Amino acid sequence: MVKEVCVLPTFERGSVDLGEIAKFRYQGDLEKEVGGRLSKEDAVGMLEWMLAVRAFEQMIVALKDGRVKPYEGFAFTGATHLSIGQEAVAVGTMAALRPDDYITSTHRGHGHAIAKGGYAILAMSAKELAAFLGEPYRGEPREELLPRALDMHLFQTMAELLGREDGYCRGRGGGMHIADFNVNHLGANAIVGGSLGIATGAGLAVQKLGQDRVVVCLFGDGAANNGIFHESLNFAVMDQLPHGLPVIYLIENNQYGMTGQQRGEVTGIDHLARRGAAYNRENMHAEVVNGMDVLCVWDAVKRAGELCRTKKGPVLLECLTYRYMGHSLSDQRVKYRTTEEEQAWRSCDAIETYERRLIEAGLVSGDETAALREKVEASIQKALERAARSPEPDPATITEGLFADSTSDDISAELRTPKLLRPMRQYRRDSQGQIMYRHAVCEALGEEMERDRRVVLFGEDVADYGGAFQVTVGLLESFGRERVFNTAISEAAVVGVAAGASMCGLRPVGEIMYIDFMPLAMDQVANQAAKTRYMFGGKAKVPMVVRTTVGGGRGYAGQHSQSLEAMLTQVPGLKVVAPSTPYDAKGLVKSAIRDDNPVIFIEHQLLYTQKGVVPEEEYTVPLGVAAVRREGKDITIVAYLKMADVAVEAAELLAAEGIEAEVVDPRTLIPLDVDTIARSVAKTGRLLVVCQAPKTGCFGEHIAYRAQEIAFSSLKCPAKIVAAYDVPPPMAQTLELEHLPNPEKVAREAKAMVG
């Protein structure tokens, strides 16, 4: 399929007009806002929530230095990244959002969590408040339930900070990883910039699902220098999307990354908002905002939200603010910043300035604000007392929440794709009912996309070209660019967007062309997609698939031929699939897409043209169930992907010499079907594992260990591994052939073991 855009050479002399980026646009008046866009209750509420955020974090300081102890022997552990001084950004942002809008947050995100949850609770009906409290609704008036719900919110936030079971994430995340999926808070993130891909994916889901929502991605100035920042913003503005994604990228510029100063030290610009000019023709509507004024932030986010809701997003906002404390409480900030600087910022303190404006406008009196402070501090104290005495997680539950045990096997008819743009390509079977491996994968992708309109496919070159190995040929013609589209060469964005989109209702399939490129995306793979469910207390589903390939045997050398699957199996929270036959490839693709967990689906390049019997009728292959490729009684050979074929060929060589080898193909590495392997070892008494990766640290070592752990008494000799050399894959054919396991090497080792 030829691309719609024809790019022709134009070399006319001129210049590129970057336009202007506004600074400090809002000059509103509080008195005029009240009665207009704000009620008196709204205006005073902003002060109350800023006070709550500061009181919460001041309590952390008191806990850390021991001035406050809820009971004798209490010890506070955990991170202490505070946002004291930055309250206007958190409260102004959340006050401008609707309750069902999404946010992502940072390791300095207590204020984001408190304000997001608080404003969402204020918008709840009586019935919703009862549900939030975990109680049946018995007709109680909303006025009775609301204070209890707000207390519960502060308690659950405090309980998470203290690592308690009743915390929002059951104590699994702590202060740096608070999330509340009930109010579309997709989580705080301890990786600088880690949530940028997730927020972009959430925006993709909002757009594809036709929802009237926006996503606010809050991150610090340090993250604006990170690779995922650039990859995500570029993804969000791609011309091929129907319109830009509805994401507000909000830089909470508190002037310091850790100790590195944004202005005058680690960047070459005065305002990070200027970077909006790099991404689209509208400069991403970039704007510099007074982040010490809650009304300025509120106005900017409100206007940005309207742009996103009217399909004119995304938007980049830079809110200038200041953190009064160091990076953490162990950071002596006086070592790298002056007293003069700190005093200047404190002179425009967000809370004190706004409190004065409320009093001057006649909306509250000094006595009333004093009473408000007392009320807020009492509520924080109450939350602390309750949280400190609430139960800690039971060690017996340590593995709970890692994987979802659900799938999308049973879905409603409304989720089917209503109509294809063109009938899907039919792969004709030969006389034996066989098709190629790559066609089996494509057939599975197409069937699942037709079955479930939430399945989208994206990655480098997957659309018009059909992927580097022609696996996705024809899918664009059937489903269009709404469902099948190319991305930039941005591996981290591909995975991060898939994670965020899956958390918000899509079932994305992202492609990373070679597993060698996976290290470019490992933060998004290992710290985001894999950890999201467990870290947030088992309350998220991340139904995403990342397809990738391993190689060897094609002369592609050290950066296109590696077998890095062990790097992925080491990460708790991922399922890793490695099919060796066309039948298994199709059935496992379907199971992977339907699974409610992140799945890494590994395909071997040398298998793409291999043929096998693939039924035309519907079927799936379950994850975590091995296949016995050949029966035998003398030795068990375990191998996966292309090495399963090598093992079968080796078994034939051995059979010619009277040795019957049983070949077990795990099919999925995580979960690993250890029981099938152990049963085979119990029968044969010997175990040989074949792996294309370098021997040191390969997944074959884990297979051998687990088999020996379970079936040690059956073994007649130690388990052995045939693997590649401990070198990067070489290009020269003589070296590559020596590098990789082959049937002769496997048979030779097996014969030595049988004796």
Report pLDDT for 577.
98
Q: Do domains 413-613 and 627-754 have the same CATH topology?
A: yes
Q: What's residue 565's pLDDT? A: 97
Report the C-alpha gap between 270 and 338 in whole angstroms.
Answer: 19
Find out if CATH 3.40.50.920 is the number for domain 627-754: yes
The tokens for 187 are 């989580």
**629-634 average pLDDT score:** 98
Is the sign of the CA dihedral 638, 643, 645, 648 positive or negative?
negative
| Phi and psi angles of residue 217, each rounded to the nearest 5 degrees, phi first | -105, 105
Q: What is the mean pLDDT of residues 166-175?
A: 94
- pLDDT (0 to 100) of residue 1: 67
pLDDT band at residue 674, thresholds of 50, 70 and 90?
very high
Span 386-398, pLDDT tens digits = 999 999 999 999 9
The SS3 assignment for 545 reads strand
For residues 424 and 115, what is the distance between their CA atoms, to the nearest angstrom? 48
pLDDT of residue 405: 95
Question: Tokens representing 713?
Answer: 């008494």
User: What pLDDT band is residue 330 in, cutting at 50, 70 and 90?
Assistant: confident
Supply the pLDDT for residue 5: 85
- Tell me if the bond preceding 579 is cis, omega within 30° of 0: no
> What is the C-alpha to C-alpha distance for residues 704 and 185, in angstroms, rounded to an integer?
42
* Contacts of residue 239, Cβ cutoff 8 Å, sequence gap at least 6: none
Class of domain 413-613: alpha beta
Which DSSP letter does residue 17 get? -
Distance, in Å, from the CA atom of 348 to the CA atom of 354, rounded to the nearest integer, reads 9
Pair 383, 118: CB distance under 8 Å: no
Biggest CA-to-CA distance, the chain: 98
pLDDT of residue 555: 86
Write the CA distances from 612 to 30, 383, 415, 432, 436, integer angstroms: 72, 62, 31, 9, 6
How many beta carbons lie within 10 A of that of residue 277, not counting itself?
19
Please give the single-letter amino acid code of residue 248: I
Number of other CB atoms surrounding residue 378 within 10 Å: 11
Measured CA to CA, the distance from residue 460 to residue 510 in angstroms comes to: 9
Which of 532, 524, 624, 607 lies closest to 568, judged by CA?
524
Q: Count the alpha carbons within 13 Å of 503 in the hemisphere toward its beta carbon.
A: 36
pLDDT of residue 343: 95
Q: CA 703 to CA 640: how far, in whole Å?
A: 11
User: φ and ψ at 430, to 5 degrees?
Assistant: -80, -170
pLDDT in tens, 724-743: 999 999 999 999 999 999 99
Q: Using 50, 70 and 90 to split pLDDT, how confident is the model at 293?
A: very high
CA distance linking residue 202 with residue 209, whole number of Å = 10
For 423-451, b/e burial (b = at least 16 CB within 10 A) is ebeebeeeeeebbbbbbbbbbbbbbbbbb
Q: Examine the pLDDT at 704 and tell me if it is beyond 70.
A: yes
CB atoms within 10 A of CB 521: 26
In sequence order, what are the residues at sequence separation of 6 or more whose Cβ sits closer than 8 angstroms to the Cβ of residue 672? Answer: 624, 666, 702, 703, 706
Q: What is the pLDDT of residues 473-530, one digit of tens each?
A: 999 999 999 999 999 999 999 999 999 999 999 999 999 999 999 999 999 999 999 9
Question: Looking at the annotation, which residues are catalytic?
Answer: 560
Nearest to 182 by CA among 306, 108, 73, 99: 99
The H or E element that residue 319 is part of is strand 315-320
- Asked if the model's pLDDT at residue 645 lies above 90, the reply is yes
Residue 163: how many CA atoms within 13 Å on its side-chain side? Answer: 11
- Alpha carbon 23 to its chain centroid, in Å, reads 32
What is the average per-residue pLDDT within 142-161?
Answer: 97
> What pLDDT band is residue 595 in, cutting at 50, 70 and 90?
very high
Average pLDDT of the chain? 96
Tokens 């910022």: give the residue.
345
Alpha helices per DSSP H over 310-436: 339-346, 350-360, 366-388
CB 595 within 8 A of CB 543: yes
Give the pLDDT band of residue 70 (cuts 50, 70, 90): very high
pLDDT band at 192 (very low <50, low <70, confident <90, very high): very high
The residue written with tokens 């992140």 in the block is 598
Please give the pLDDT value at position 755: 87
Class of domain 24-115+171-389 as given by CATH = alpha beta
Enumerate residues 6+ apart whose C-beta is below 8 A from 10. Answer: none
Per-residue pLDDT, averaged over 558-581, amounts to: 96
The answer to whether 425 and 473 are in contact (CB under 8 A) is yes
Instruction: Tell me if residue 148 falls in helix, strand or coil.
Output: helix
Q: What is the pLDDT of residue 28?
A: 86
Q: Do the beta carbons of residue 504 and residue 206 sit within 8 Å?
A: yes
**DSSP secondary structure of 37-61:** TB-HHHHHHHHHHHHHHHHHHHHHH
Q: What is the pLDDT of residue 410?
A: 94
CA 715 – CA 274 distance, rounded (Å): 66
Give percent above pLDDT 90 in the chain. 92
CA–CA distances in Å: residue 614 to residues 156, 473, 584: 51, 18, 9
> Alpha-carbon torsion 180, 292, 307, 128, what sign?
positive
Burial of 343 (0-12, 13-18, 19+ CB in 10 A): exposed
Phi then psi for residue 661, to 5 deg, are -100, 140
CA distance 520 to 507: 22
Identify which of 250, 318, 603, 313 has the alpha carbon closest to the alpha carbon of residue 459: 603
Q: Domain spans of the chain?
A: 24-115+171-389, 413-613, 627-754
Check: CB of residue 183 under 8 Å from CB of residue 150: no
Residues in the chain: 755
**Exposed/middle/buried for residue 730 (C-beta within 10 Å: 0-12, 13-18, 19+):** middle
